[in-house]
Amino acid sequence: MSSIKKKLSRYISISISILLVSIFLITDISVDTWISNEFDRAMINKAGLLETLISESPDEVDFDFADEFMPEFSGINSPEYFQLWRDNKVFERSKTLNLFTNNKLPKLDIALNESSITNITLPDGRSGRMYFTKFKPQVDSAVREEYDITKEEFAKTQKLMELAYATSNEGLNQILWFVDIIFIFTSIIAVVAVRIIVFNVVERGLKPLDKLNTELKQINFNSEVSEISTSNLPEELIAIAEGINHFINENKTLYSREKRITSDIAHELKTPITELLNLTEVSIKFPNEKQLTENFKSDVLAITERLRNIVNGILLLQKSTCQSELEKKEVNFYTLLNSIIKSENKTNRDVIINFNNQCKNIKTNEFAFTTVLTNLVNNALYYSSDITPVVIVVEPYSNTKKIIFKISNISRFEYSEDDLDLFFEPLWQKDSSRTSEERYGLGLAIVQSYSEKIGASLTVAIEPDQKITFTIIL
């Protein structure tokens, strides 16, 4: 099972470690390059100093070199080497070359005033670097004036000189190795430190999730705690906590609703079942009672019909809440509405219809729409007085392609605004004693469920004199 803590720690650690190691590597390469460049620059400066000690006149070439000022070219401690060639012949070389059998520095083929730095093995066997250059010696201005000759004319007759200067680079290599070791050691410490720090930071950062989880475990449908406190939560978890609180409230509401519905269903079924049992017991106890025998079948049939109606209503409500898509097709609204009114208005009540012909045809699910209209018409006829009319209005809705359907009636019962919120609750009845044997409080719940399925908006409003109006926009 994957862990957010482990993944987050690993990804952050790897990312930061790669970044740090990259920075250290770039720094190490830069430092190594800088140190090597400084070493080469020091060699070039030393070789340049040796070049300045050479001066030429028409009579001779003078090399003004003194060992006492440059002991590195004469002693045996960390010796350095140089060798001069003039006209392809050895002109001068350091005394340190005489200390070893291999007493020559290699000569390179380069152009005039060019230079080259190469790695070599020194005469003493150490690894080193050699700077090699080809040049023309300098001529003092006093000498040129004495011989009355220009620098350019004198240069035409000058012979080329070559200089090789070599020194050990073992100290340089040790420094570079030391820098590399520091880089490796620092990188390892940085990676380990980043891992430890990131793990602790992530663990501490995820503690609010553990706290949230602990609070969630304490919540159940029967507990007094109904929501998670968001006062001490981080900003990122507040939205999640609010979503969970909404989910908990919704589920608690549904749980309470299901408990009530279960209780109401049991009550609705208990009454006819009790009647059947009583009727059967009485018939068995008094088998010769003529009146009981004559009415037994019709009474059983009536009770059974009531049971069937209750079960059919519950099944229809359950069917309306299923998740399957409803097939839609073209339906003649006017014809359907008139056929429903004709079927439900068995007492020829006064029904006023204001129907706009623009709303004649609609595209919807015929079964669901028929169920909605049938229940609303039946409800309006049943709960209104026989002397008051039922008014139905069908017209376009606010210059849109939608249709608004209104059905109004004057109720025989006294309803309040609070009762309107309970109208669509399954098995809710204004008469808490449930004396009616024909109504079970399922009709409006089915209407609301099917309205949602066909994408219709259903509302109910109460006006003075107990005028109840149901509105559907579809």
Instruction: Please say if the pLDDT value at position 443 is more than 50.
Output: yes
What pLDDT is stored for residue 317 in this prediction?
63
pLDDT of residue 433: 47
Structure tokens at 400: 């849109």
Give the per-residue pLDDT at 160.
87
* DSSP state letters, 61-92: EEE---GGG-GGGTSSSS--EEEEEETTEEEE
> Which strands sit side by side in the sheet containing 115-121, from one edge to the other?
89-93, 81-86, 161-168, 127-135, 115-121
Q: Is the pLDDT of residue 42 over 90?
A: yes
The per-residue pLDDT for range 355-397, each reduced to its tens digit, is 888 888 888 888 888 888 888 888 888 888 888 899 999 999 8
The answer to whether residues 387 and 457 touch, using CB atoms and an 8 Å cutoff, is: no
The SS3 assignment for 422 reads coil
427 vs 415: CA distance, rounded Å: 17
For residues 245 and 257, give the distance between their C-alpha atoms in angstroms, rounded to a whole number.
Answer: 18
Of 195-199, 351-355, 443-447, 455-459, which range is least confident? 443-447
Rounded to whole angstroms, how far apart are CA atoms 245 and 252?
10
Output the CA torsion sign for 171, 176, 180, 185. positive
Give the number of residues written for the chain.
474
DSSP state of 95: G
Q: What is the mean pLDDT of residues 430-435?
A: 52
Distance CA 380, CA 349 (A): 11
Q: Tell me which architecture the domain covering 326-473 has in CATH.
A: 2-Layer Sandwich (3.30)
pLDDT tier at 117, thresholds 50, 70, 90: very high
From the CB of residue 414, how many other CB atoms can be counted at a distance below 10 Å?
8
Q: Where are the domains of the chain?
A: 4-177, 235-318, 326-473
The half-sphere exposure of 207 on its side-chain side, counting CA atoms within 13 A, is 7
Taken in order 413, 419, 423, 426, the sign of the CA dihedral is negative
Q: Which two tokens stand for residue 315?
A: 């099944």
Of 16-30, 127-141, 247-261, 441-455, where does mean pLDDT reach its minimum? 247-261
Q: Over 60: is that where the pLDDT of 151 sits?
A: yes
- What are the structure tokens assigned to 228, written together? 């998670």
DSSP β-bridge partners for residue 163: 84, 133
Contact status, residue 422 vs residue 343, Cβ threshold 8 Å: no
| Interval 297-340: pLDDT, tens | 777 777 777 777 667 666 666 666 665 667 888 889 888 888 88
The pair of structure tokens assigned to 471 is 């509105």
Torsion of CA 126, 127, 132, 138, to 10 degrees: -40
Confidence of residue 72 (pLDDT cuts 50, 70, 90): confident
Residue with the two structure tokens 């003004």? 64
Amino acid identity, position 31: V
Residue 285: which pLDDT band, with cuts at 50, 70 and 90?
A: confident
Q: Which two tokens stand for residue 55?
A: 């001066």
Measured in whole angstroms, how far is the alpha carbon of residue 112 from the centre of its chain? Answer: 67
Indicate the pTM of the whole model: 0.53
State the average pLDDT over residues 198-212: 82
Q: What is the DSSP string of 308-363?
A: HHHHHHHHHHHHHT--SPPP-EEEEHHHHHHHHHHHH-TT---EEEEE-GGGSEEE
**What is the fold of 235-318?**
Helix Hairpins (1.10.287)
Residue by residue, what is the 3-state secondary structure of 164-191?
EEEEECHHHHHHHHHHHHHHHHHHHHHH
